Structure 1
Amino acid sequence: MAESEELKKQEEKKEDEKKNVKPEDRPLPADKDVTSEHELAGYRYRATAGTLSIETKSVAPAASMFHVDFLKLDEQGSPDPTRPVTFIFNGGPGSATTFLLMGSFAPRRIDTGEVVSGHGAPYSLVDNKYTLLPFTDLVFIDAPGAGFSRIAPAAKKELWSVDGDVAAFSQFIRRWASKYNRWNSPKYLFGESYGTVRGAALSLKLQEDGCALSGVTLISNILDYAHTFSNDDQLYIGYFPTYATTAFYHGLAGRGLTVEQQAQRAREFANGAYRAALAMGDSLSEEQFNAVASEYAHLTGLSADYVRKSNLRVGVERFSKELLRESSQVVGLYDSRVTGYDLDQAASEETFLADDAFITPHYVALCEQYLKEELGWQSSDLRRDFADLDLESREPGKSWDWHHKKPYGVYGDWDYFPFPRVIEDLATAIVHEPGLKVMIGNGYYDLCTPMFQTEFDIDHLQLPRPLRHNVAFSYYPAGHMLYTAPQALPHLYETMEKFYAAAPGDVSALNERPELPLK
């Protein structure tokens, strides 16, 4: 039956090509599931690869969202409808959930070694002893238009936006709960990168839609785009400690220290002398300017002359190119432990994303193989890493609408932010659901979403003091995709196990963030 269905699809594809019909213009497929049962470490689980349709206010169906579920089975071979269930997604925006599916908490994962390097197939897929299945069922979700999810062209204007995307995921989760009888399960979110924007806003949206959460985990966070849009002082302050830990990893700073000690030294400088110097702007004296440049260089491995010429403001692309310039190497933005070579060695900024280029082929190849060969998902379409967005366009439906409607009660003259800022969403969600637990995870070597900026953002939730125990920080010797570093996985697994076991509204015992002195 599966073989004849595949042949039929191939014939339909040929007919579409003859008629010059683009794949995205074909009618959305009907919902379907493919299930299989497997065993790992003495327990059985059910895997489901499937699609679920959603609609918007003006388009129905608007998208067919692809998901991969892993449900632990009881002794009778049935899933437990009262077990926790965690909805997991990458970011982008418009990214497929390939990396989390293949690298994090599913029963099978990719083995890339400690620090990935560029090489071709074959790649290694192994049983995952760090799967979260022992304490939560798992649902991995592709965003509309990405992975094996499809989107109706008429729905792109609505769904390819901050708020339209959040509404889509809220609807998907509620439809999933109805289809699989999981409304009474404790529900959790796990989002990465832009998925933290989605996760923070979604935590409030789901409440408003009648689906309260028990917990939210956000890793590799970017919760406020204001600093990247304005290029203000905080942008440079937020990056600084990750410059210092990167220099530490490559042996250019912090000799004799641990990465935690180096990070703390950098935090204190960034929040003290460096913040004060940037705030003074052109009124900073030459003596003060040189003193700050010298300490900046000492902590980051850059030359004091380069820091001075950069006016104390070194952009991340410049840092990644400058740090190892003497050896003609660049460091990765997603994982600054990774090094590569840039053809244009004289360029002031990095032009080659070494880590992304090295790691993507592993995940693309094995995800296609895993879904089709082990989980039985058959499709003549190639899996899309990203939705077909043109982020340089300003035309609705081609690019991403970055506006975000403020939660009710947020002060200001406008009822929306012109960029993603979801700090208020997360704070409102906690206030409205005081039992909500929030875990914030960041890598020491993530130059894409730096940890110190995340700390700054969470410090500005402005929560009532009794609710500040709802949020905890955890840190990992890893880059943007924490789970791709095997030495980080045991700690990530232990953190998540304790997070699920923690009492509602109090994860203070899990908090790893050190205090900064008040200066």
Structure 2
Amino acid sequence: MAETSPSFTVTMNDGKSAKPEQPVPEPASKQLTWTSGKQTIKYTATAEMLPLHTDDGTLIGHMFALSYVSDAADKSDRPVTFCWNGGPGGSSAMVNIGGLGPRRVPINTIKQLPCPTKPEDNPYSLLPTTDLVYLDAMGTGYSKVAEGYDPKKVWGVDGDADAFMRGIAQWLTTHERWNTPLYLYGESYGTMRNSVLMRVLGERGIALTGVIEQSTILDYAPTLAGNDLYYMGMLPVYAATANYFGKAGAGVDQFAWFDRAWKFVDEKYGRALIASDSITPEEERELAGEMSELIGLPAELIQKKHLRIELDTFRKTIMADEGLFTGRYDTRFTEPAYMDVQGDNEFFAGEDPSGDAIMTPDQSAWMKLVQETGFKGSPINLLLSMKVNEEWNWTHQAPGTMGSPVCPNTAYDMGTALRRNPFCRVLFFGGIHDAATPFWNVKHSISKMFLPESITSRIEYKVHENGHMAYEDLPTLEKMAPELAAFYEKRHEA
């Protein structure tokens, strides 16, 4: 039986909620000019609150959108790209002011920027190629859930995708852009959102031309305690990091060392982890020696851990001789190890030097950028809402499955969407220093679906020398810009 979804109606006026709504800020626009070299583009920046309604007209809330639209008269073939970060609980600020918007904070790559920063025209912006729309997830940034509407309905894998579908439809209606090439650009959890949205949008009659996945996670199973896919994905990142700091692979290119570790995972490491206590102490000792050569940690420690090295163990050990620990978002960043880094893979005593270096400069620059449009929003606008993050509903109804597993795998949503839409393409970007979303796990999530060549020919992979926030690395951004432009041009191919 074919999968179906109920039709929906986009309304231009707010519905009624059970309690009085707080005043909704009025839309605000400003005409601006982007310049890079001899190229100039006049565009309009618009900040607005998009009303979201259920199919029966109930007000869900208002989703904040900041769009950059070229003032060119002919928009018949000009794409619109909807962009967001992840979290879950993250607003869209960082992939905007820190990423591929028309203005950005200066890039300092592996060093922290002082505040305040002055936004500048971004020579690597996507604006020459596409109009850009940045949407904040409900409950993040300026987006607000309506009084009387249960936020748990939109704080979850499926409810979040449904809300973004409605936000996209509302923007297309408000700005009269339904008949235009449509793209999605997501980072981190935003890539999981993209995967579900690809299917959901198609089921609602909204066809996508392309999807860009940056620092991707499709399957959350590797994040579960004791899952060997976690260790397999991390090992190439450990190797690249050890090589960067001169702890392994002296004289060998970082990418070559990363590839060597990847091959070790595929040919030996994965099999050893699956064998677990079936391997002999001698076999374990030999493998620990090979791992030590690759990732720069003592073989004795690796064998003691039975070949399973947690991220925090690596981070606090690889640079311990210099009194430093490394980042998670970008393992090239370091901070003094003033206290033990302990516990789990995300939140720990020592925090993350790469996050410390990026988030505060981006926050202040973002607020300035929004203010310049004339938008009158709340003075409190956090890049990441931990309330949303902690209350997230991880259950997901994947296509063709019964029930809703609490550990989502959205790769099958993507596979289903690509099967239904033979004109949609996907571009994956990954970084060899990204310990938040290791690229090995991305390739594994796609490869284990055994997709036919008619689909895999529309999937591209690009790996660069960066961490999680690829756009914060200037050499990477210089490579990404032409790769993105080429990806958009492929919409003209048969």
Task: Give the TM-score, by structure 1 length.
Answer: 0.86
Q: Which segment is superposed worse, 270-279 or 200-209? A: 270-279
1:280 match = 275
Confirm or deny: 8 A CA contact 1:423 1:458 kept in the other structure: yes
Confirm or deny: 8 A CA contact 1:73 1:80 kept in the other structure: no
Deviation at 1:276, TM superposition (A): 1.4
2:82 match = 87
Of 376, 379, 386, the residue aligned with 2:374 is 376
> In 1, distance between residues paired with 2:97 and 2:440?
28
Deviation at 1:351, TM superposition (A): 2.3
2:126 match = 132
Q: Which segment is superposed worse, 182-191 or 338-347? A: 338-347
> In 1, distance between residues paired with 2:323 and 2:145?
43
Deviation at 1:346, TM superposition (A): 7.9
2:332 match = 337
1:96 match = 91
> In 2, distance between residues paired with 1:285 and 1:291?
10
Deviation at 1:345, TM superposition (A): 4.2
For structure 1, the 5+ residue unaligned runs are 1-24, 393-398, 507-519
Asked if 1:144 is matched to 2:138, the reply is yes
Task: Give the TM-score, by structure 2 length.
Answer: 0.90
> In 1, distance between residues paired with 2:342 and 2:95?
33
> In 2, distance between residues paired with 1:379 and 1:441?
33
Asked if 1:225 is matched to 2:213, the reply is no
**What do you get for the CA RMSD once the two structures are aligned?**
2.0
Cα deviations by residue, 1:215-268 (Å, 9 ceiling, x for unpaired): 000010110001212522111101110111111111111222212211110011
Asked if 1:122 is matched to 2:116, the reply is yes
Of 387, 394, 397, the residue aligned with 1:405 is 397
> In 1, distance between residues paired with 2:171 and 2:465?
35
2:53 match = 55
Cα deviations by residue, 1:352-386 (Å, 9 ceiling, x for unpaired): 211112221101111111111x3222224311223
Confirm or deny: 8 A CA contact 2:124 2:477 kept in the other structure: yes
2:300 match = 305
Helix, strand or coil: the match of 1:49? strand
Confirm or deny: 8 A CA contact 1:338 1:354 kept in the other structure: yes
> In 1, distance between residues paired with 2:388 and 2:43?
39
The 5-angstrom pairing of residues 14-29 of structure 1 reads 27-29=21-23
Confirm or deny: 8 A CA contact 1:28 1:64 kept in the other structure: no
Confirm or deny: 8 A CA contact 1:88 1:138 kept in the other structure: yes
Deviation at 1:35, TM superposition (A): 1.1
Asked if 1:245 is matched to 2:240, the reply is yes
The 5-angstrom pairing of residues 88-487 of structure 1 reads 88-117=83-112, 120-152=114-146, 154-345=149-340, 351-352=349-350, 353-372=352-371, 374-387=372-385, 389=387, 391=389, 399-407=391-399, 409-410=400-401, 414-487=402-475
> In 2, distance between residues paired with 1:132 and 1:217?
12
Cα deviations by residue, 1:108-151 (Å, 9 ceiling, x for unpaired): 1111312132x642223211111111111100111111111111
> In 2, distance between residues paired with 1:201 and 1:210?
15
Asked if 1:490 is matched to 2:486, the reply is no
Helix, strand or coil: the match of 1:71? strand
> In 2, distance between residues paired with 1:505 and 1:197?
27
Confirm or deny: 8 A CA contact 2:25 2:375 kept in the other structure: no
Q: Specify whether residues 105 and 370 from structure 1 end up closer, same or farther in structure 2 by C-alpha distance, changes over 3 A only.
A: same
> In 1, distance between residues paired with 2:135 and 2:389?
22
The percentage of aligned residue pairs carrying the same residue is 31
Q: Which segment is superposed worse, 158-167 or 147-156? A: 147-156
Cα deviations by residue, 1:144-194 (Å, 9 ceiling, x for unpaired): 111111112523020001100000000110111111111100000000000
For structure 2, the 5+ residue unaligned runs are 1-18
Cα deviations by residue, 1:382-403 (Å, 9 ceiling, x for unpaired): 11223352655xxxxxx11100
Helix, strand or coil: the match of 1:382? coil
Helix, strand or coil: the match of 1:115? coil
Confirm or deny: 8 A CA contact 1:83 1:136 kept in the other structure: yes
Confirm or deny: 8 A CA contact 2:51 2:63 kept in the other structure: yes
Q: Specify whether residues 250 and 130 from structure 1 end up closer, same or farther in structure 2 by C-alpha distance, changes over 3 A only.
A: same
> In the alignment, residue 125 of structure 1 is paired with which amino acid?
P
Helix, strand or coil: the match of 2:387? coil
Moved over 6 A (4+): none
Of 66, 69, 72, the residue aligned with 1:71 is 69
Confirm or deny: 8 A CA contact 1:28 1:63 kept in the other structure: no
Aligned residue-pair number: 467
> In the alignment, residue 130 of structure 1 is paired with which amino acid?
Y
